[in-house]
A and B are shown apart, each in its own frame.
Chain A
Amino acid sequence: MTTKSKSKKSADILVNVENLKMYFPVTSGVILQRTVGQVKAVDNVTFFIRKGETLGLVGESGCGKTTTGRAVLQLYEPTDGKVQFEGTELTELTSSDMRAMRKEVQIIFQDPYGSLNPRMSAGDIIGEPLKVHNLVNSKQEYRDKVAELLSVVGLSPYMADRYPHEFSGGQRQRIGIARALAVNPSFIVCDEPVSALDVSIQAQVVNLLEDLQEQFGLTYLFIAHDLSVVKHISDRIAVMYLGHIVEIAPSDELYFNPIHAYTRALLSAIPIPDPTIEKTRERIILEGDVPSPLNPPAGCVFRPRCTKKDKCKCAETTPILTEVEPEHWVANCPCCMV
C-alpha cells in the first residue's frame, strides 16, 4: 500500500459545507436569563468532502474542530449555513427524516471510556443501532450481525457478552467503531479516535480505520490535534484556528508547501522522531495564547500572534478562503500568507 485510496477516489462531492456558523449563547442571571454574549465556536466554515476520501481537520483545543464535526451531523443545530449530504440539505430536514438519515452518517467518539454505556454489554452496544433502525428481523439475524461486526473490527464474537470495563482502551475504541459501522453508513466523523490511546495501540486503530475505508468505501472526516496522524490518514487536510479554517490542501502539499503563517508554526512545533533532522529543522515558536472565542479579534483571527502585526492592516477586513493553487485554499490575509 504505497499510494492510498487516492486512485479510487471519485470527483463526486459527498458532503458540502457552506458558511457554517455555530454560536453558543452566554447567559447571565438565575431566573430571567439574559444573553450577554456569544461564543463563536465555528464561524463561516466552508469545505467539501469527496466520496471515498478522508478530510483531516486539525487545530488546537478550543479551535472548534469537534463542534464543526457535530454541527455537520446536526448533533448541534447550526446557527447558520448549509450542510449538504449527497445533495440533501441536512439543516432543513425534520427530525424523523434526520433520524433515517443517521443510517448514512455516523460518528466515532474520542473518549473510549465515556462513550460506551458501562451497563450494556459490548453486543448490546453494537446491536442497538440495528434495533433502532429496524435492520434485523430475527434474534438469530441480530446475533449473527453483531458477531460479524465484532470480527470486522478485529474482536472475537464471544466477547459480545462482556461489559466495557473488561476491555482495554484500544478494544473499546474498536467497539465504538463497530457501533458506527452497524448501520452500514457511507460517511463517518472520527472525532479524535486515537488521541486517548498509546502509540502502539494508536497504530492498530489507524490501520483498522484505513482497512475499513478500503473494504466498505467509507468517507471520513478525521478530526484530531495530532498533525502527524492526520497527515498519515488524510487525503486532504483543513487547518482550523479560532473557529475559522485558515488553510485546506492535499496532505503532502500542506506539509511541503504551507502558506498560512499558523500552518507553518503548527508544522514546525511538531517534533519529528529523528534527532538528526531535529537539529537542522527551522523552529517557529508562536508567542502568546489562542484568544478567547468569546471576544475574538476583528478581521484576521491570527493577528494577535502574527509576527508582522505592527505593519498589519488586516484588522478591518475578514480574510476569505481563496484558492491560490489548484486544490490549495488559504485565508487570504496578506501578512499571514508566506
Chain B
Amino acid sequence: MATKTSKSSESTTRKDNVLLEVKDLTTHFFTQDGVVKAVDGISYNVHEGEVVGIVGESGCGKSVGAMSVMKLIPSPPGRIVKGDVTFEGEDLVNMEEPEMRRIRGNRIAMVFQEPMTSLNPVLTIGRQLTETLELHQGLTGQTALNRAAELLDRVGIPEAHQRLKDYPHQFSGGMRQRVMIAIALSCDPKLIIADEPTTALDVTIQAQILELMQGLAKELGTALIIITHNLGVVARYADRVIVMYAGKIIEESTAEEIFHNPMHAYTRGLLASVPRLDATEHVKLQTIEGLPPDLVMPPPGCGFKPRCQQKSCKCSDTPPPIVEAKKGHFIVDCKCCRK
C-alpha cells in the first residue's frame, strides 16, 4: 500500500488545505424531558482529500454532529445553539436555506446508514440519480441518463443502462448502498459524509462497499468523514480518528497514534473491550463499568467522571479543555483520564 505510507508526509504539507472547519459546534434538542445536549462544543478540521473517522458508542453525538454540519437537524426540537461551521471559507451555520440546498448533495454529499429507507421506493433508480444532476448541474433528458448510467457503472453495478429503470426493491442491500454512493458522487463533491455506511450490511459486503468508497475518494480527491462504531473499520480506512463520548470530542490523532498510543481512559477501555481476531491466547475482555451519562443532565466537568476508574478522582466541575499533548495528538485535559 504505497499510497498509505506516503500519507504522513502528505498530511504535513496539507496542513493549510482546510476544507471543513468545525468550531465549538453545539446542538441541543429541546424536549419535554429537558434539553438534550447531544453535541456539546466540538471542534475539528477536515483537510482536502483526507479520510477522517469519527468513532463512539450509540448516543455519543457522532451522527448529530455530522447532521449539524449538513444542517439536517429536525427543528423543532433540535437547534444549533452556537458554534461555527466553515466549509471552503463559507459560513454554513448562518446560511439561508436556498443557498444551503445548493451545497447539499453538490459540494457536500452524504451516505446514510439505511440503504433500505434512504432511497425513495416509488421512484426508479434512474430518476433518483438524475434528480441531483438536474438540480445541481442542469443536465436533462438523455444526457442526464447517460451520466447516471456512467455513475452506476463506476460504483460497480453491471448493466447500468438497464438497471436505471429498476426500483430500489429490485436491488440487494449492498447494491442499494452502491446506488447511494453513486448519488453522493454525482456532482463531484469535495466532501462525503458517510454515516455508518455499512452497519446494516454483512461483513463481505461491508468490505466491498468500503473498498469502493476509499478507492473512489482517493481517485477523485474527495475528503471522507466515516462515522462508525466499528474500531476495525476506522483502523483500516481512516487517516485521522476522532473519538467522541457524551457529546464531546475526547481524543483526536492519527490512526496509528490512537490505536498504538491511546491516552484517554475511555479510548483505552474501548480498545481493550473489543475481542481481536488475531489474538493468540484467550484473555478476558476488559469492560468499562457503568453506562454513558444521560445527556439531559450530563455530569459537570469531565463527562467520563461517573465511569472513571480512579477512586480518588478530584476533577473540578469545570469542563476540562482540549490540549495538544503531543504533536498532532489532542486530548481532553482531565488529570485522571489522561495516561
A residues contacting B by CB (< 8 A) are 1-4, 60-61, 168, 170, 198-204, 206-207, 210, 225, 227-229, 231-233, 252, 255, 265-280, 283, 285-287, 289-290
Given A61-B202, A285-B208, A286-B204, A273 and B271 contact (CB-CB distance below 8 Å) = yes
- B286 lies within 8 A of chain A by Cβ: yes
- Chain A residues near B275: list those with CB within 8 A: 203, 206, 228-229, 231-233
Secondary structure dominating the interface of A:
helix
Closest CB in chain A relative to B249 CB, distance in Å:
18
Closest CB in chain B relative to A246 CB, distance in Å:
13
- B311 lies within 8 A of chain A by Cβ: no
Residue of A199, A202, A289 touching B175 (CB-CB under 8 A): A289
Closest CB in chain B relative to A269 CB, distance in Å:
4
A266 to B204, CA, bound (A): 6
CB atoms of A203 and B286 under 8 A apart = yes
- Looking at the complex, which of B82-90, B117-125, B255-263, B330-338 is the stretch in contact with chain A? B255-263
- Chain B residues near A278: list those with CB within 8 A: 235-236
- Looking at the complex, which of B9-17, B41-49, B225-233 is the stretch in contact with chain A? B225-233
- B339 lies within 8 A of chain A by Cβ: no
CB atoms of A279 and B4 under 8 A apart = yes
A139 to B321, CA, bound (A): 56
Closest CB in chain B relative to A162 CB, distance in Å:
15
Would you give 8 A-B contacts (Cβ < 8 Å), ordered by A?
A: A168-B291, A198-B229, A200-B269, A203-B285, A255-B278, A275-B259, A285-B204, A286-B204
- Chain B residues near A283: list those with CB within 8 A: 207, 211
A269 to B229, CA, bound (A): 17
CB atoms of B273 and A202 under 8 A apart = yes
What are the 6 A-B residue pairs with the smallest beta carbon separation, nearest first?
A271-B232, A232-B275, A203-B273, A60-B202, A269-B207, A273-B231
- Chain A residues near B271: list those with CB within 8 A: 273
CB atoms of A199 and B174 under 8 A apart = no
Q: Which residue of A lies closest to B239 (CB)?
A: A275
Given A198-B229, A266-B203, A274-B235, A232 and B57 contact (CB-CB distance below 8 Å) = no
Given A199-B57, A279-B1, A289 and B207 contact (CB-CB distance below 8 Å) = no
Closest CB in chain A relative to B216 CB, distance in Å:
14
Given A199-B229, A200-B273, A4 and B208 contact (CB-CB distance below 8 Å) = no
- Chain A residues near B4: list those with CB within 8 A: 279
CB atoms of B274 and A228 under 8 A apart = yes
Q: Which of B270-309 contact A (CB under 8 A)?
A: 270-271, 273-288, 291
